[in-house]
């Protein structure tokens, strides 16, 4: 199982050859536009994405689709600590891996501040995965239909309509005229509270293009007739999003159109918005929704018309999105509850860490000590046991240079590495002032035991010694999360 890694995960083990230095980017070709701050699109290995999602842990699932086009979206964390969203398609939905990569790479070129930009893909074996920027402030669906503190204000709803029209206009200009599943779940809010259009909806759910995962009540009429979506289908779907924004609830387009034709617009409007908008502005948006929802595709407006119609309705453009949403400018960091070892690492108390590791021994490696008793007794096994014994004695007696020597020899002898040995050697390196080697050993311990809080805490300690305080805090948080998970599993 994979797991979250620190920003220095690329460092090699001290028992391996150091990697060649990375080539420095050619700064003369770097753009300064906002959208170019997104990392360039590239292919990732399955092992990298497995590690980023802690082995595709169910705890990291942020959304799942229906049965027609089953796929799952995970929250992930890359080795550079960047948070990402990873969409895992159904098995063999794209049989040809090269077709998938080609399509994904094309979408990866669509860069815009109103779009959740794609940053990678993976086509390995039967797996087909897309990776995009992670949006921390939920979906439009959550803010509209499942709000807790306050309903989405009118001005924010108008901003959503305008920003999404901008995103669709940019996609169309990039020859990406079809968006396969535009709905309130596909509009996400970034760290600044700005609404963005998910790039996942630009990718078909399967190579045949027949998967259209949405409620039939909201499906464009032409899809029901032909099983295909066309550029005008996107306008229809945009109209359903306008209905969501106006009503604050799921409402079938046919019912909404009946209300509009009957001049019962007030019955369509979200009652929580009373007093927040001018009647003529609401009427404009209702009429625009009506135009988008026309049965015949040719009767619907184009995207440029949407932009021109929604832009004048914005009245508070100077107010930041996070203010309209009632969000703090910086995300609230959850309180971290640390174990005694975590606390000792946080305050960089090496003596206390040493005492705790001595008391803990090897008990976290379930069954590891007992494996030798079932093996054929050979001189090699005896040598290994003696080496471990001498290493443990040196570690106990704070003879850290000898502890490093014996543990290094033991690592080379063991067919199955020991997380505890790596942790003990890591602390020994810290004791003699070599935090970089300590960090590498702490990472190796995590490879051995992916959800072991001790490995995370030791990484945090080494990172603190290296002056990487932000990364150290991330490691402490991750360690505390796994500690809590372990405690909860004991209570069940």
Question: Residue 211 contacts by C-beta under 8 Å, 6 or more apart in sequence?
Answer: 68, 69, 93, 180, 204, 205
- Which residues neighbour 28 within 8 Å (Cβ) at sequence distance 6 or greater? none
Query: Distance between CA atoms of 186 and 74, rounded to whole angstroms?
Result: 15
Token pair of 22 as six digits: 């990375």
The H-or-E segment that residue 16 falls in is: none
187's enclosing H/E stretch is: strand 187-189
As a dihedral over the C-alpha atoms of residue 253, residue 176, residue 143, residue 77, rounded to 10 degrees, the angle is: 150
DSSP string, 63-107: EE--SSS--EEEEEE-TT--EEEEEEPPTTSSS-HHHHHHHHHHH
Pick the catalytic residue from 33, 96, 181, 349: 181
Query: Helices 453-465 and 435-448 meet at what angle, rounded to 10?
Result: 160
Which residues are CB-contacts of 208 (< 8 A; sequence separation ≥ 6)?
none
In 98-153, where do the E strands start and end? 115-116, 118-124, 127-133
- 96 in catalytic set: no
Q: Which two tokens stand for residue 119?
A: 């940053």
In angstroms, the CA 174 to CA 109 distance is: 9
Strand order in the sheet with 187-189: 115-116, 195-198, 187-189
Q: How many whole angstroms separate alpha carbon 367 and alpha carbon 274?
A: 65
Residues noted as catalytic: 181
């Amino acid at each position: 199982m994979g797991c979250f890694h620190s920003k220095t995960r690329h460092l090699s083990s001290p028992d391996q050859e150091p990697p060649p230095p990375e080539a420095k980017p050619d700064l003369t070709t770097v753009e300064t536009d906002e959208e170019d701050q997104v990392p360039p699109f590239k292919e990732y290995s399955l092992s990298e994405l497995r590690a980023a999602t802690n082995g595709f842990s169910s705890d990291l699932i942020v959304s799942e689709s229906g049965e027609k086009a089953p796929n799952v979206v995970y929250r992930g964390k890359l080795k550079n600590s960047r948070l990402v969203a990873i969409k895992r398609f159904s098995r063999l939905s794209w049989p040809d891996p090269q077709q998938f990569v080609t399509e994904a790479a094309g979408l990866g070129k669509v860069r815009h501040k109103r779009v959740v930009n794609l940053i990678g893909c993976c086509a390995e074996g039967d797996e087909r995965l897309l990776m995009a920027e992670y949006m921390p402030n939920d979906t439009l669906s959550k803010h509209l239909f499942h709000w807790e503190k306050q309903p989405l204000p009118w001005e924010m709803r108008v901003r959503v309509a305008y920003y999404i029209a901008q995103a669709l206009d940019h996609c169309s200009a990039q020859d990406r005229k079809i968006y396969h599943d535009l709905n309130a779940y596909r509009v996400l809010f970034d760290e600044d509270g700005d609404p963005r259009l998910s790039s996942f909806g630009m990718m078909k759910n399967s190579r045949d293009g027949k998967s259209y995962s949405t409620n039939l009540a909201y499906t464009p009429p032409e899809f029901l007739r032909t099983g295909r979506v066309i550029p005008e289908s996107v306008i229809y779907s945009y109209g359903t999003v306008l209905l969501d924004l106006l009503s604050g609830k799921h409402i079938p387009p046919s019912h909404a159109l009946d209300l509009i034709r009957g001049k019962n617009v007030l019955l369509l409007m979200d009652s929580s918005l009373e007093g927040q908008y001018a009647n003529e502005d609401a009427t404009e948006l209702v009429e625009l929704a009506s135009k988008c929802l026309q049965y015949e595709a040719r009767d619907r407006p184009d995207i440029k018309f949407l932009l021109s119609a929604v832009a004048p309705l914005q009245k508070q453009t100077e107010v930041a999105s996070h203010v309209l949403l009632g969000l703090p400018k910086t995300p609230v960091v959850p309180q971290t509850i640390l174990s005694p070892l975590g606390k000792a690492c946080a305050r960089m108390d090496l003596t206390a860490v040493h005492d705790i590791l001595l008391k803990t021994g090897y008990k976290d490696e379930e069954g590891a000590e007992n494996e030798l008793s079932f093996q054929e007794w050979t001189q090699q096994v005896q040598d290994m046991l003696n080496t471990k014994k001498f290493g443990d004695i040196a570690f106990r007696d704070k003879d850290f240079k000898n502890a490093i020597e014996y543990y290094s020899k033991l690592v080379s002898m063991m067919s199955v590495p020991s997380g505890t040995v790596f942790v003990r050697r890591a602390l020994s390196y810290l004791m003699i002032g070599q935090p970089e080697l300590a960090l590498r050993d702490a990472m190796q311990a995590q490879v051995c035991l992916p959800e072991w809080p001790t490995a995370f805490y030791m990484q945090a300690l080494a990172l603190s010694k290296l002056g990487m305080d932000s990364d150290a805090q991330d490691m402490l948080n991750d360690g505390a999360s796994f500690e809590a998970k372990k405690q909860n599993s004991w209570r069940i």
